[in-house]
Each structure stands twice: as C-alpha cells, then as structure tokens.
Amino acid sequence: MLHALEHIRRMRGGAQAHLLRCSDGGYYVVKFQNNPQHRRVLVNELLGTKLAARLGLPVPQVAVVDVPEALIRYTADLVMQLGQSSVPCRAGLQFASRYPGDPRELTLHDFLPDEQLREVENLGDFAGMLVYDKWTCNTNGRQAIFLRPADRAPYRALMIDQGFCFNAGEWNFPDAPLRGLYTRQRVYEGVIGMESFAPWLERLETRVTPGVFDELSKQIPPEWYEDNQDELYRLLETLDRRRARVRELLVDAKRSNRQPFPNWT
C-alpha cells in the first residue's frame, strides 16, 4: 500500500488536488474523497486511467494512496476550499496519479505554441485518446500536459484527468459531437479518415474484455462508490456495450460545425 508522507503544494483545478511525496519516493497528484466535484471522480480516475493504459495510451501511473490523519492534522494547506470556508481533506484511501519526475527539477507545460506542438513525438496518440474519450463519454475537453525528458529532446504528451469520464459523478453517457475533443485541432492533422482510428478501435475490441472489467473493479475502494456495487456493475456493463458505438460517435464529431479533422475529406 502506498502511503503519503509529505505535502508539497496545492494543484490547480476544480477537484482541488494536492501534490504529495509518498512512501515509494515518488510524487503524486492526489484527489480526495471529499473533493468539490464528486466522490465518484476518484473511481473515474482510477478505472479510466487503467483502461486507457490497456489501450496503450500515454497516461500516468496511478494508485490508491493512504493519507494518514496525522499528516492532515499537521498540514494547514491540506484543506478543501468551499466558498469562504474550508474543511480538512479526508483521511484514508485517496486517488494518486504519479507526477512524471521531481517537481523541483521538471517543467511541465499545458500549452505549446503551434510549431512546437507539431513536433510532439506522440502527437498521433491524440487520435487514440479521442477513441477512448468517445467510448467513456468524457464530458470535459481532453486534458494533456507536455514534458521534455532532457534538453533538446522532443516533447511528449501525457494524457491526464479522467475525472469527467462517465459524466463525472452522474455515471451516465450524454453524448455530444464536441465532447472529449482537444481544444486545438492541430493535434488531429494526421487524421485522414476512419482508418486513422483503426489501431485504437481494434485495441478497444481485443484488449478490454469482461475479465479486465472484473479485475479493475476489484482495485477500487468501495467507499469511493459508497459501497453501491450494483451501480458500479451497471457502469461497467454500459461501457462493455458502448464499444459498438464509438465509430458512430467519431463520425458525429467529424460532421460537427467545428470540423476538428482538417484532413479528413
């Protein structure tokens, strides 16, 4: 079991995550059960990120972390801001996403100028991530960060924040053509037709089996979904069925007024 040892800083975003140093020596972005969005976003993050990893998509390593009461009690910044007041972060099992390096040395970017964006070495993974986001009905825009392992090395995209997959805490699937798209269509310049999504669609069919759903569901702390096993099973059954709809959802995005795929004619 991973344990939180030290608070580093607050992170940006609606879930009010915190960066913590943990017992394996790594740093993790931690979302708490009592975050302002919904407790279920922890399920979405753990389940969603592990499903994306099954598809071979570039996502962080994720884990369940135990945050002790003592760390919260003696760390004034470990709170959730609720309007003009605040409450302490909840102790116990929380969601943790591995920070891709030492935060004192690594610079991450959530925006790159167009010329640098074209040079991101795994830019084609945005097409795969769209397959994933359509499948899971990510009701937020696609979130990504860009890192550079060393000077003069190419940037690499890392896909983060699966909290609004399955429509956040609602666990339903209100599909819409523009949902799940990255804000800058330059990342989709390599899409020339449905064949550009074919490798990811094949992985969705072959790598995500009912056995995978069963395996991953056992890794989710029951308190994250309030011990409502039926609701979790219903979510997983819906995901299993939705794989057949992804092609249709991609075509809907292509036909939207935004025209996100400039080279798909």
Region 222-247: mean pLDDT is 97
Measured CA to CA, the distance from residue 123 to residue 257 in angstroms comes to: 23
At residue 153 the predicted structure's pLDDT band, cuts being 50, 70 and 90, is confident
Q: What is the pLDDT of residue 151?
A: 75
Percent pLDDT > 90 in the chain is: 93
Percent pLDDT > 70 in the chain is: 100
Region 32-38: mean pLDDT is 97
Coil, strand, or helix at residue 57?
coil
Q: Tokens representing 215?
A: 């395996």
Own/partner pairs, 170-175, CB within 8 angstroms, 24+ separation:
171/40, 171/231, 171/234, 171/235, 172/137, 173/137, 173/238, 173/242, 174/137, 174/139, 175/134, 175/137, 175/245, 175/249, 175/252
Residue 73 has pLDDT above 90, yes or no: yes
